[in-house]
Amino acid sequence: MKLVNHGIPPELMDTVERMTKGHYKKCMEQRFKELVASKGLEYVETEVHDLDWESTFHLKHLPVSNISQIPDLDDDYRKVMKEFAVNLEKLAEDLMDLLCENLGLEKGYLKKAFHGSNGPNFGTKVSNYPPCPKPDLIKGLRAHTDAGGIVLLFQDDKVSGLQLLKDGQWVDVPPMHHSIVVNLGDQIEVITNGKYKSVLHRVVAQTDGNRMSIASFYNPGSDAVIYPAPALVESKAEEAGEAAYPKFVFEDYMKLYAALKFQAKEPRFQAMKAMESSPNLESIATA
């Protein structure tokens, strides 16, 4: 879904966009060009399956911010990204309560489910997708579902590229000025017992135009235990333990996801289920 009138000041979004694009030009573009040249990516003739045509860096906001330690950022840019993150955190929490309301869960249920001992993990992946000479052979970002909770995406207002899979077809998510695209991750699918599904999406790089994408991930705390909300488990079989979704610690899921991000989510859920019944079978998680 796409949000407008989300309460984040448009002037702040304009500043974030301007500074992010300026930072890419100043600090990232040359590095990306060197990477492309070193791997000969401009001249590939068969489809590339092991990397993405993207230039990225990551910021962490919660439980502890690392913005002051990220190299190459101007102080003004750090300050603006911090302010943007505060706005996004509030938006993510408001959205979680809207999901609770829609599902008939008590207010705050999802926030509590995400809390663990230290509160949620909240971070931002700042990406640029530079012009790509072979977009049919190298994806900007290969198809995947997001691992975590709620993802709030501030994407370029001119250069398109994001697509999601709907009824077996890739559908464009076109730019819309000052909007925030909301994506739900695998954890929301598990907790809602499949009432909300994580969605497969990808980025197709463009032959011209540099696409900016700022994706902020509101995820469970590392030691949060994730399982379907009992109020959403309906059938007798499910109640008797044959649940469709597993119960696990979030960081265990992330270890598995790190290796299997670009594969279907169902085998990940099955592997977590196998670990649940045989917690010593760690090899399943790393296979």
| Cβ proximity to Fe ion, 147 vs 159, nearer residue | 147
| Least distance to Fe ion, CB of residue 282, Å | 27
Q: Which amino acid is at 275?
A: M
Minimal distance in Å, beta carbon 215 to Fe ion?
A: 6
Q: What is the number of other CB atoms lying within 10 angstroms of the CB of residue 45?
A: 6
Decide whether 93 or 146 has the Cβ nearer to Fe ion. Answer: 146
**Which residue in the shown chain puts its C-beta closest to Fe ion?**
146
> Would you say 100 or 153 has its CB closer to Fe ion?
153
For the CB of residue 183, give the shortest distance to Fe ion in the complex, in Å: 6
Q: What is the dihedral of CA 215, 220, 226, 230, to 10 degrees?
A: -90
Q: Which of 278, 287, 197, 282 is nearest to 245 (CA)?
A: 197
**CB nearer to Fe ion: pick between 20 and 155:** 155
Residues that bind Fe ion (CB under 5 A): 146
Spatial separation of the C-alpha atoms in residues 141 and 161, rounded to whole Å: 10
Which residues, including other chains, have CB under 8 Å from residue 238's CB and lie 6 or more apart?
193, 228, 244
Shortest Cβ 263–Fe ion spacing (Å): 14
Looking at the Cβ atoms of 103 and 199, the one nearer to Fe ion is 199
**What is the smallest separation between the CB atom of 9 and Fe ion, expressed in angstroms?**
25
Give the integer Cα–Cα distance in Å for 261 and 69. Answer: 27
d(C-alpha 71, C-alpha 234), whole Å: 50
